[in-house]
Homo-oligomer: A and B are copies of this chain.
Amino acid sequence: MLLNIFQKELYQGIQIVQRAVSAKSTLPILTGIYLEAKKERGLHLIATDLEIGIEYWVKADIKEEGAIVLPADQLTGIIRELPAADIHFEVDPEHYRLYLKCLNSEFNIKGYQPDEFPQLPEVDQAQRLSVPADIFKEMVDEVKFSTSTDQTQPSLTGGLMAISREDIRLVTTNTYRLAYSRHKLENDLERDILAILPGGTLNELSNLIVAQGEIEIIINDNYVRFNINDIVLISRLIEGNFPNYQQVIPKEYNTRLKVDRDELLKAVKRTSLIARLDSNVISLSVKTDEMNITTVDSDSGDAHESLEIELEGAEQKINIDAGYLLDVLKVLKDDVVIMEMIGPLNPLTIKKSENDNYIYLIMPVRPGS
């Protein structure tokens, strides 16, 4: 394996695939990046932690084909610190060692045998469709923070991706709150898709997608492959059933209000400074023109905020976890958000506009519970 490659391009490629490298692994080779030189395409970079895998091709002048696995930490550190110049990259195929030279810097590092690196799965017998990148990224960002961390319910640690011939939906829930994002997407799928993406995959999608062009989704029963421009992200799917989210989403409301998102975010943040010293529960009380936010039964002190709102319907009072409300207010970008309530024991619904394409539910905390 012998090639010349430009430092900036190699570093960019390493940063992309590095996100899939295992931090600690019982398989030491997974802490490495697989590099393969192909005359017709350049240098192929692959990393995987067995849940997700990321592939990327970097332009390079390949003199001799070959492959090696190199420790990701060392490789990243070295390439980052090298000057912006051509790197001479040479692998001794018998001893799996890299020799690298860039201007006045030379390195010699130990690698791993490339054929011991696990192959990323082929996603065959698959359905495929395309989604606009900006829309898919926004949907992912609107739901990814709302997964469960409870490993005893694996399906809740991921997000449901439901695709029909008319639309695509992403849903996450930890049973105390739920995030739902939908986008109309006409397509010619043969059958509906119902898949659970791991939470880590949602995070990597959010990191890797730049809001340009189209994303191709290729999916079968066990795996999904996302083609994001030149980046390939392959993820296993979580087995199991996702809860019936439709049944939880309220069909009606008694109270509906509009409130300035940024004002509400700041007020909840301040109230939470006191509330989080105990259970982080706050009380929202709404009447004509005004929302009052207060701490609930806090030993450490009290906070009280009042905000202007536009109200339709009955007065309400509901106790909720301040953190759940902060999460969604930080993610949405709209100037105004809509809240809907039925009563103190029903979920609080947050929407970002008049339509139902985004719905976020927070289950109430029972007074005195």
Pairwise interchain contact A301-B104, C-beta atoms closer than 8 A: no
Q: Are B74 and A266 in contact (CB under 8 A)?
A: no
A306 proximal to B (CB < 8 A): yes
Q: Which of B108, B266, B269, B303 contacts A107 (CB 8 A)?
A: B303
Q: How far is the CA of A97 from the CA of B298 in the complex (A)?
A: 14
Q: Which of B108, B300, B306 contacts A109 (CB 8 A)?
A: B300
Bound complex: CA A267 to CA B74 (Å) = 15
Interface contact B108-A77, CB-CB below 8 Å: no
Contact of A74 among B74, B82, B83, B273 (CB under 8 A): B273
CB atoms of A74 and B301 under 8 A apart: yes
Q: Does A354 contact B (CB under 8 A)?
A: no
Q: How far is B304's CA from A109's CA once the two chains are assembled, in angstroms?
A: 12
Q: Does A302 contact B (CB under 8 A)?
A: yes
Instruction: Provide the residues of chain B in CB contact with A300, threshold 8 Å.
Output: 74, 109-110
Q: Residues of A within 8 Å of B, CB-based: how many?
A: 29
User: A23 within 8 Å of B by Cβ?
Assistant: no
Check if A270 sits within 8 Å of B81, measured CB to CB.
yes
A26 CB within 8 Å of chain B: no
User: Is there a chain B Cβ closer than 8 Å to A277's Cβ?
Assistant: yes
Integer count of this chain's copies in the complex: 2
Instruction: Check A81/B305 contact, CB under 8 A, given A274-B109, A277-B74, A300-B110.
Output: no
Knowing A104-B306, A270-B105 are in contact, say whether A301-B77 is a contact too (CB < 8 A).
no
The residue from B78, B83, B301, B302 contacting A273, defined by CB atoms under 8 A apart: B78
B267 touches A108 (CB 8 A): no
Smallest beta-carbon distance A323→chain B, Å: 15
Q: 9 shortest A-B CB distances, which residue pairs? A: A109-B301, A108-B302, A106-B304, A77-B273, A104-B306, A81-B270, A107-B303, A108-B301, A105-B305
Q: Which residues of A contact B (CB under 8 A)?
A: 74, 77-78, 81-83, 97, 104-110, 266-267, 269-270, 273-274, 277, 300-307
